[in-house]
Amino acid sequence: MRIRRWISLLLLPLALAACEDATGSEPPIVGGWALQQTGPTRPWLAEELFFAADGGFVRQASFESDRIYHFRLEGEYRVRGGRLELRLVRQVSWNEDAGPAEVSELPGTWEDAGTVQLLGDLMVRTYVTFPADAPEETRAAYRRIPFESLERLD
């Protein structure tokens, strides 16, 4: 009886790990996310990330420098081993004082965008920034927001 108990205790973590790995799933980041908090070096007024089930990605953000700027990045995403990778193909930018938006086509290469971790309805993204010409680890927390599809963002 004791041997069975010990064997059961030893096999339980393996069984749980096998269940977790059987799906091969990554963090379920599909949906909309609004920036809640980031490091002091980032001047964002607002930032939203949208991840579609088909791999589509949109980032909408505003920041303030000498005026308020807005931009939208479009592309694809994938999560591998908890690491977020982005392939950006288009950027649209404008500011409060200017006329029409500027549209730029981007090279479309896959880039490492840090790691993602889900904590309830929060997503924590850890990535590298260069605020003073030296790499610095930055953490940003995003709260889940309603999201239906990327087409509705246009």
Range of the structural domain that residue 128 is part of: 25-147
Residue whose tokens read 């006329």: 99
DSSP 8-class letter at 73: E
DSSP 8-class letter at 107: -
pLDDT in tens, 50-82: 999 999 999 998 877 777 788 899 999 999 989
Label the pairing between strands 56-64 and 68-80: antiparallel
Q: Which residue has the higher pLDDT, 68 or 9?
A: 68
pLDDT in tens, 84-103: 999 999 999 888 777 678 89
| Residue 4 domain-assigned (yes or no) | no
pLDDT in tens, 26-48: 568 999 999 987 655 555 678 89
pLDDT at 18 over 60: no
d(C-alpha 75, C-alpha 127), whole Å: 18
| Residue 19 domain-assigned (yes or no) | no
Instruction: Please tell me the total count of domains within the chain.
Output: 1
CATH number, domain of 37, equals 2.40.128
| Residue 6 domain-assigned (yes or no) | no
